[in-house]
Amino acid sequence: MKAVTELTEAGRDYAAAYGAHYTDHDLPRALQLYLKVISAHPGTKEAGYARSQAQNIINATVPDRELLDAQVELAVAHFGRRGDIAGDDIAAHRRDA
């Protein structure tokens, strides 16, 4: 007797993203589909898998320096809302690069 496993909607969406990523090698489409899984199915294991795969695509395509710059800007914006850091600090970071 065969065990039949039906995919959930989250599973089907993740499978489509995974196929775009690893079968079609269409990274822009795969990223878009992974982000759809994350937003449409938060809290599912597929959303967790999609988050990891999206991070893999980002790390493989965006140069390290650009990633760091974007993360620093995000942190500065976050701290700035709380008044913890001045805008000059990011300028110093960029001069040091």
Q: Where are the alpha helices (DSSP H) in the chain?
A: 9-18, 27-40, 45-61, 64-82, 88-96
Q: Which residues contact 7 (CB under 8 A, 6 or more apart)?
A: 15
Amino acid 81: pLDDT: 73
Please tell me the number of Cα atoms within 13 Å of 38 on its side-chain side. Answer: 14
Domain ranges of the chain: 9-61, 64-96
Residue range 22-52, pLDDT digits in tens: 999 999 999 999 999 999 999 999 999 999 9
Each residue's pLDDT tens digit, 54-78? 999 999 999 999 999 999 999 888 8
Q: What's the pTM? A: 0.77
Give the CA-trace dihedral at 34, 37, 39, 44, to 10 degrees: -130
